[in-house]
Structure 1
C-alpha cells in the first residue's frame, strides 16, 4: 500500500521512520544537515545497541563538507553499528526502517524542513512476512530498498563501525550481549581534506561483517607464528609426495563451481550454505526466516516457484540429488 505525502504529513512520516527504527535505518540523501530536532530523533534512548544505520550521501566530490558537515559526520560516528557511504552521483532521497519507507524529493536538511519548501513523497508500508522480498514485482518498497543497497555496495565507504557481542553457542543469538563497538574503517581525514585525489580504500560495504562475535575464532587473540628450521635429512622424495597430496585435494573439488542466488537468480559461488548474493543476504538476514520461499534453484538457476529456501536451496526433489543440472 502506498500513500502520497506532502507538507507537514511528509515531514512527520520521515520523523517517525527515524524515531521508530528498531532494527534497520536507511538514510539516502545527497545533502544532510542536522539540527537539534534531527539529533534527538536519531538518539532515541529506547533503541537497542544493534540498530543498523546506513547513511548514503553524495555530491561535492571535491569538498564533501558541503554535503555532510564534519560536525554532523562526527555525530553519526557515535553510533555502535553504522555505515557511512559517499556516492558522488547521488540525487535521489529515500528514508526507510524495517516497517516503512518514503521515496521523496526532500533532503535530510534542516532548512528544507523548517522553511516549508514544496516537497512530495510516497509512503510505502510492509509487513514482516514479506519485507524486502525481491521478485522484480511492482512492490515499490522492495525495489527501492534493494536499489539503495546496490548504491551502497557500489560506492565508497567512508566510515564503518560494528558492534561486538558475546553469545553462548548453545543459545539462540537473541540472547547475545552487547560488549562494545569497533571501528573497522575511518577515512575521515581523507574525505575532509581539500580533495579526494588521494588514494582511497578499495573495499566495499560487502567486505565488512554485519557484527562481530567476541567468541568467534575471527576475534581470538593473535598468536605469533615462529619459523621452524627444516632439517637437512628431509629428502626431495617427501616434498614430491606433498605435492601429490595437494594435487589430489584440488581434484576432489566440486564440479559445480558456479551457483545462483535463490532470490535474484544472479551467478554467485556455489555454496548451499550461502545461497544468496550479498545484497539479497542483507535483506534475508533482517529476519532470518530459513523457510521463506525463494525464486530460484541455487544449483541450476532454474525458477523454483517458491520451492526453495535458505533451508532447502536446491530443487533436489525435482532434478535429483545427483543430477548434473
Structure 2
C-alpha cells in the first residue's frame, strides 16, 4: 500500500516529512497544489527534495477551471490503495480525493490557525460535508463528494480527541535532530512577519517593532512572510534604528535556523505557526505572541482566525501593544 500527502505550503511539506518519520512510512506520493503566490512556489522548489518521494505530482495554479484536471488526478490516484492520506485543509482537491480513493485512515496536517479552525468548526461539529457548486459538479462525472472518513489529527497543538478521532502528537523529531549544532544568539530578537495590513495599519506595525527594540535594547531582525507586499517591506525597512534590519530568508524559519546553525533565544510575531514549532525545537528560546488589538477594524478577522488561536497558548507568552510601551 502507498501513502498520499497533499500539501500547498513549505510548512505543510515539513509536517509531511515529520509524518513519514513518525509513522515510519514508505511508498509515499506527494501532491503539491501550487498557489498564485510566486514566493510560495520558490520556497517549495527549494525544499521539495528534502525527502525522496516515490512520485511528485504538481498541480499548477490556474485562473481558469481545473475541473478536468482534478478528474484526471482522481483517476490516476484510484489505481492504488492507501494506508494513510495526509492533507492540511478541507478544500477541493483533498476532499475529492478522500471521497474517491481506497484508504485506511485520513489525517489532518498542521497548518497554523487553519488547523484550529477546522478542528473547532468542522471536526468537533461533524460538519465535513459542506459543498459549493464547483464541488457538486464532480457528481456529473461519476465521482463521489461525501467524506465518510474520520479526520484524525497529526498535530503539535494540544487538541483533545473528539468524536472518536485519533490525535497523534507531532513532536518535530526530524527537525529537532539537528538542533545540537546550533550556536546560541543571545543578542538578537527574530521577528516573524505577517501580512496584517488589513487589520493593523503599517505605521502601528512599524512602531511596534521600534518599541520592541527600545524595550529590550537588542538587535531585531525582521523576517518577512512570503505573503507580505514589497511596499510594506520597503516601508518597514525605513525604520531609522541601527538595531533594526530586514532579512528575507526565502525558506521556512525552522529550516533557516537549522541550516545556518543558529540557535535563536528570542522569537516574536503577531501570530505564526513557526512560534509553535520553534518553541518545540529550541528548549531555551523565549517565544512571544503580540496580540493583535481588538477593534472595529480587526474584530471580524480576530473572531474568525485568532481568538481560538490565542486561547491555545499560555498567557505568559502573549504580549499586548501596551506591554511594549505603546
TM-score (norm 1): 0.28
Larger Rg: 1
**Greater per-residue helix proportion:** 2
